[in-house]
Chain A
Amino acid sequence: MTRYSAWSILKNALKGNKDWTPAWRKPEPKSSYDVIIIGGGGHGLSTAFYLASQHGITNVAVIEKGYLGSGNIGRNTTIVRSNYRLTPNSQFYEKSMELWRELSHNLNYNVMFSPRGVLNLAHTPGQMDTYAERGNQMRLMGVKSELLDRDQVARLNPGLDVSGSARFPIEGGLLQPDAGNARHDAVAWGYARAADQLGVDILENTEVTGFLKEGDRIVGVETNRGEIRAAKTGVAVAGSTSRVMKLAGVEKLPIESTVLQAFVSESIKPIIPTVTTFGAGHLYVSQSDKGGLVFGGNIDYYNSYAQRGNLPVWEEVTSELVAMFPNFARLRLLRSWGGIMDMSMDGSPIITAGPLDGMYLNAGWCYGGFKATPASGWCFAHTIANDKPHALNKDFTLDRFKEGRMIDETGRGPTPWYH
């Protein structure tokens, strides 16, 4: 397999770009593997990559129902950050940041990680106090943070309406300077290619239709391409978690699926230098390398598997964007789409062995799964390889709901549609 480099680009350019080979194989499924990962999204692929590269387990299959990158890994707003308040979250997401910084080198694939800064706007003095608290929490955990006043925000983000007559006048903001964006598709393709090179079989268009059981133990899966057996089966299927787990006989989980919409506008000249979030509602916007504004807001609050949303959220999100940046009022939207979020009961993820023997579960990402992709795979691979959690995911268990150790970042209780 070719290693991508400036030299390979030059060499292939001179030969008319006829010698490029596919980035990953399309193998036939074997009858058994050491580990099966269900779900060829970011988390599944990164798990396979770290199983192979960190734990030496290369006899691995990643089973994907559709084509690679067709789920949430290709549907998100590409934001990468670790500005969390609670210790388990900030440690975990900071590990992710650490992996993001070296990801392009480690995968030999340009994931276009762009640490342009994530700026959360504050619109009231009270909000400034909360941001000061969160900023301090982040600093205590070794995460960079800066509390900005209104003038600093204005200098950083010249398009913003910072006037006193704005619908929600801006007080200041909290900046995580080394957070930013990455190219979401490249993350899926990069992990797939790197895992494939280490011997992982990526089985696209392979749908899991059932689980193979010996007693209570999961020993593999039934698919539309036949039975595949494995000593260990990992499930990393985001919004489809409840659907897939039902096939294994797990009827209920602390998860509800909802739809989150995202939007992209026509291309304009560079105007937003950071990822910017609106503090008086819920909106996050950044500008893609092609110039389009990529933004999203709240989930549509009700349970949904539709992969498309309704108009009220569209209206809410766009009106928030215009409240922040009045000069965007006449921009046209190019596309909008929906993805299914696995909203957990406390807003934090689940990476654990179980709930059945021979099975491992990675779920509950709410709408923050993209930034977690590297650390999620890192921890899930460790959990699968060693049958015990990594220090960074020991708190992300299913048992926490029984033991009262919820990791509820926003303190909203078991209302998954508000997390």
Chain B
Amino acid sequence: MKRAVAPHLGTIKMRLTCPFCGERDHQEFTYRGDASAKRPAIENDSIEDHRAYVFDRANPDGDHRELWNHTSGCRMHVVVTRNTTTHKVTGCEPVGPWAKTMKARS
């Protein structure tokens, strides 16, 4: 049962809808951080670009695209869109080569 303890803040249970397994408790997932960080190309020898990729974060107050791994399920990575102030989840997409396969099938 989902019960709002503080309606203006959303629900106390945070559930993620894994594109492969369906809706699950977030405890089944392992947080893997900001999904907007893009690894620079391997040929890119700018130390600054690599430093920014590893360390710099926008850390937004609001919608945040982030990677979660479904460690206690299918072990796939998913990109979750979640509001960092209300914890409301608005998106949960597959990522990597599987994303294309899923898209082709649908």
Say whether A associates with B.
Answer: yes
Q: Which residues of A contact B (CB under 8 A)?
A: 242-243, 251-257, 301-306, 308, 310-312, 345, 401-402, 414-417
CB distance from B53 to the nearest CB of A (A): 10
B95 at the interface (CB under 8 A from A): no
Cβ contacts under 8 Å, B55 to chain A = 254, 345, 401, 414
Complex Cα gap A254–B34 (Å) = 12
Q: Is the CB of B85 within 8 A of A306?
A: yes
Give A211 Cβ to nearest chain B Cβ, in Å: 17
Query: For residue B84, which residues in chain A have a CB less than 8 angstroms away from its CB?
Result: 257, 302-306
A255 touches B57 (CB 8 A): yes
Asked if B64 and A311 make an inter-chain contact with CB atoms under 8 angstroms apart, the answer reads no
* Cross-chain contact B26 with A303 (CB below 8 angstroms): no
**Which of B31, B52, B82 is A252 in contact with, Cβ under 8 Å?**
B52
A185 CA to B104 CA in the complex, in Å? 58
Cross-chain contact A251 with B58 (CB below 8 angstroms) = yes
- Given A302-B82, A401-B51, A256:B14 Cβ within 8 A: no
| Given A257-B84, A308-B9, 10 extra CB contacts under 8 A | A242-B57, A252-B56, A252-B57, A257-B61, A303-B34, A305-B61, A310-B87, A401-B54, A401-B55, A417-B33
What distance in Å separates the Cβ of A339 from its nearest Cβ neighbour in chain B? 14
Q: Is the CB of A302 within 8 A of B31?
A: yes
Task: Please name all residues of chain A whose beta carbon is closer than 8 Å to the beta carbon of B26 when the two chains form the complex.
Answer: 302, 310, 312
Q: Does B17 contact A (CB under 8 A)?
A: no
Is B33's CB under 8 angstroms from A310's CB? no
Contacting pair A311 B12 (CB below 8 A): yes
State whether A312 touches B56 (Cβ < 8 A): no
User: B31 contacts A417, CB within 8 Å?
Assistant: yes
B29-57: contact bitstring with A at CB < 8 Å (1 yes, 0 no)?
01101100000000000011001101111
Interface residues on B, range: 20 to 34
Bound form: Cα–Cα A244–B20 in Å: 38
Residues of B contacting A251 in the complex (Cβ-Cβ under 8 angstroms): 58
The reply to whether A414 and B54 form a contact with Cβ atoms under 8 Å apart is yes
- Complex CA distance for A255 and B61, rounded to whole angstroms: 13
Q: Please list 6 pairs of residues, one from A and one from B, whose beta carbons are closer than 8 Å in the complex, sorted by A's number.
A: A252-B59, A254-B55, A302-B84, A303-B64, A305-B61, A402-B48
- Asked if residues A253 and B57 are in contact (CB atoms below 8 Å), the reply is yes
Q: Are B59 and A257 in contact (CB under 8 A)?
A: yes
Contact status B66-A302, CB under 8 Å = yes
CB-based contact A310/B47 at 8 Å: no
B29: min CB distance to chain A, Å: 9
What residues of B have a CB within 8 angstroms of the CB of A305 in the complex? 61, 84-85
A258 to chain B minimum Cβ distance, whole angstroms, is 9
Contact B57 A310 (CB under 8 A): no
Which residue of chain A has its CB nearest to the CB of B11?
A310
Say yes or no for B100: interface residue by CB 8 A criterion. Answer: no
- On whether the beta carbons of B51 and A243 are closer than 8 Å, the reply is no
B1 at the A/B interface (Cβ < 8 Å)?
Answer: no
Chain B residues near A311: list those with CB within 8 A. 12-13
Q: By the criterion CB–CB under 8 Å, are A303 and B66 in contact?
A: yes
A252 to B85, CA, bound (A): 18
| Closest 8 A/B residue pairs (Cβ) | A242-B59, A252-B56, A254-B55, A301-B31, A401-B55, A305-B85, A302-B31, A305-B61
Cβ contacts under 8 Å, B57 to chain A: 242, 252-256, 345, 416
B6 CB within 8 Å of chain A: yes
Chain A residue nearest in CB terms to B85: A305
Complex alpha-carbon distance, A251 and B86, angstroms:
22
Q: Output the nearest chain B residue to A304 by Cβ-Cβ distance.
A: B84
A311 CA to B11 CA, complexed, in Å: 11
- Is B27's beta carbon under 8 Å from chain A? yes
